[in-house]
Amino acid sequence: MTEKTFVQNDAIRSAFSAAMSAMYRAEVPAYGTLMDLVAEVNAHVLAAEPALAERLTETDALERISQERHGAIRLGTPAELSMMRRVFAVMGMFPVGYYDLSTAGVPVHSTAFRPVGAAALSRNPFRVFTSLLRLDLIDDAELRAEAERVLSTRAIFTPGAVALTEKAEAEGGLNAEDADAFVEAVLETFRWHDKAIVDAGLYKRLHDAHRLMADVVSFKGPHINHLTPRTLDIDAVQARMPEKGIAPKAVIEGPPTRACPILLRQTSFKALDEPVSFKDENGNWVTGSHTARFGEIEQRGIALTPKGRALYDALLDQSRKHVRPAADGSNAAAYEQALADAFEAFPDSWDGIRAQGLGYFTYSLTDAGRGAEMSGDLETLLRDGLVRFDPIVYEDFLPVSAAGIFQSNLGNAAAQDFSASPSQQQFEADLGQAVLNEFDHYAAIEAASIAACMSATSGQAT
């Protein structure tokens, strides 16, 4: 059996995220500083909260707590997107969710390629938020055509990466030697190139149309634009960035600080100005600069049901009607207060969240439940202490937050008015596959856990 010699796709993903982390730290020293700060804060939290440390030892590998959870790239064409899907599949990463960023003034739509299922996530949770540029939202037809022409000339995958992806597809996996070569080849797609493939004039026109256009179209490949480790205390990291000489974005995106964390909180340090060069009309390289790359951190909470998500969206909207966070951070405290006030309406206990059907949970037998003759419905089993429930962690992204991350790193004047134009069907056609609906996915995990508990009660087939 040749399958026995295949490397697990989770292991390929681990190797890939480690290689990417090393590359990015070398390319963006400020990112290394952020990683150090995150490790410091996480160690501090764990020392102060032994109970948390113990829980995390059971559920997560503690020594990997500060490792990257996600990164992001921006692609230029449908062909790039569909090939990227095939490459990620070799690493056990599949498209989950559809995010329309046009409403927030960013001409892209996106998905997240990620491991699906508890086992794969716990082996390595790395995911890539992947955006596709929407030239259809750009008014200037001539510029659009030029961008298309430039994009059609570039090849973002090495021949080796393509060949090994095809081999994995044909044979059902890669052996150790091929897996190593695959990781090395795929890394090239994410590498930074400081020589633009457009001249300074075209760069400026792209940049003036939308900074994101310039970032996607002007370079040889879709350089990784940030990586994101997990922090156990995002407020502490945000507060301490300046002391390490890195400038945080104005506010933390997502819900406020809570006893029972929901969804996703994230923040970043602002993208750096980096030297790049362009060919002038005489074919000589001239130096300019480009701003794209940054570092981000995230802290995750419970996945919300559609009802919980609707409440979250409404409360976020309400708080932003009171105070819109200013890009320079001048009203950050007022924004935080408005957010905290609005979220008073969101129950802050697991019981309360569950009672109102706002979040997803997994159910499991307690020690007492495992030894007992069980009967009755789920609520009875919970009340009798035979079954327990635990929050399911949200593994996806939030469009309003993503837009905030985009904008603070594109220069804050970047937002433009596009009319809302979600185009999931077109995105899926370009991708070559439907994306997984994240709500269905969480609901299925919850339902399976309930079914497993109920099958242990009398009167149920075993």
Q: Interface with ligand OOG by CB under 6 A: which residues?
A: 72, 74, 129, 131, 225, 266, 296, 397, 401-402, 405-406
In angstroms, the CA 301 to CA 293 distance is 26
Cβ of residue 181: shortest distance to Ni ion, in angstroms?
Answer: 28
Quick note: the x/- pattern for Ni ion over 207-246, rule CB under 5 A, is ---------------------x------------------
- Residue 9 touches which of Ni ion, ligand OOG, none (Cβ within 5-8 Å per kind): none
Tell me which of Ni ion, ligand OOG, none is bound by residue 225, counting a contact when its beta carbon lies within the kind-specific cut-off of 5 to 8 angstroms: ligand OOG
Nearest of 306, 302, 292, 320 to residue 396 by alpha carbon: 302
Stretch that binds Ni ion, among 72-80, 154-162, 309-317, 383-391 (CB under 5 A): 72-80
Angle 124-126-127 from CA coordinates, rounded to 5°: 140
Nearest to 290 by CA among 301, 302, 278, 279: 278
Give the shortest CB-37-to-ligand OOG separation in angstroms: 18
By rule CB under 5 A, what string of x and - marks binding of each residue 407-426 to Ni ion?
Answer: --------------------
Residue 401 contacts which entry, Ni ion, ligand OOG, none (Cβ below 5-8 A, type-dependent):
ligand OOG
Shortest Å distance, C-beta 381 to ligand OOG: 38
Q: What are the C-alpha distances in Å from 426 to residues 128, 206, 264, 434?
A: 20, 24, 27, 10
- Residue 72 Cβ, how far from ligand OOG at the closest point, in Å? 4
Looking at the Cβ atoms of 228 and 305, the one nearer to Ni ion is 228
Taking alpha carbons only, the member of 110, 41, 34, 104 closest to residue 72 is 110
Q: Are 384 and 376 in contact (CB under 8 A)?
A: yes
Answer for the pair 219, 193: CB distance below 8 angstroms, yes or no.
yes
Interacting partner of 271 out of ligand OOG, Ni ion, none (Cβ under 5 to 8 A depending on kind): none
Burial of 399 (0-12, 13-18, 19+ CB in 10 A): buried
User: Nearest approach, Cβ of 350 to ligand OOG (angstroms)?
Assistant: 25
What's the length of the chain? Answer: 462
**By C-beta, is 111 or 131 nearer to ligand OOG?**
131
Interface with Ni ion, residue 253, by CB under 5 A: no
Q: Is 67 or 131 the residue whose CB approaches ligand OOG more closely?
A: 131
Identity of residue 132 = L
Q: Which helix (H) or strand (E) holds 286?
A: strand 285-291
Select from 67-75, 168-176, 347-355, 361-369 the region that touches Ni ion (CB under 5 A).
67-75
SS3 category, 302: strand
Residue 291 or 457: the one with the smaller Cβ distance to Ni ion is 291
What is the nearest approach in angstroms of ligand OOG to the Cβ of residue 379? 37
Residue 432 near residue 440 (C-beta atoms within 8 A): no
Question: Is-contact 289 278, C-beta < 8 A?
Answer: no
Least distance CB 84 / ligand OOG (angstroms): 14
Q: Give the orientation angle of helix 424-431 with respect to helix 78-90, to 10 degrees.
A: 60
CB under 5 to 8 A by kind: which of Ni ion, ligand OOG, none does 397 bind? ligand OOG
Please identify, using beta-carbon distances, which residue of 72 and 237 lies nearer to Ni ion.
72
In whole angstroms, the minimum distance from the beta carbon of 405 to ligand OOG comes to 4
∠ Cα 290 295 300 (to 5°): 145
Return the number of the residue (203 or 397) whose C-beta is nearest ligand OOG.
397
Q: Which does 215 bind (CB under 5 to 8 A by kind): ligand OOG, Ni ion, none?
A: none
Which residue of the chain is nearest Ni ion when measured via CB? 296
HSE, side-chain direction, 13 A CA sphere, residue 49: 13
352 contact partners, CB below 8 Å, separation of at least 6: none
By a kind-dependent CB cut-off of 5 to 8 A, residue 457 interacts, out of Ni ion, ligand OOG, none, with none
Looking at the Cβ atoms of 361 and 394, the one nearer to ligand OOG is 394
- Positive or negative, the CA dihedral 248, 252, 257, 262 is negative
Q: How far is the CB of 74 from ligand OOG (least distance, A)?
A: 5
The residue within the footprint of Ni ion, chosen from 253, 296, 336, 438 (CB under 5 A), is 296
In this complex, which beta carbon is closest to Ni ion, that of residue 42 or of residue 228?
228
In whole angstroms, how close is the CB of 289 to ligand OOG at the nearest point? 18
The token duo for 74 is 């921006």
Instruction: Kindly give the residue spans of alpha helices, DSSP state H, lying in 191-323.
Output: 200-209, 211-217, 234-240, 306-322
The nearest distance, CB 402 to ligand OOG, in angstroms, is: 3
What type of residue is 208? D
* Degrees to nearest 5, angle at CA 33 with 186 and 226: 35
Interacting residue ranges for Ni ion, rule: CB under 5 A: 72, 228, 296
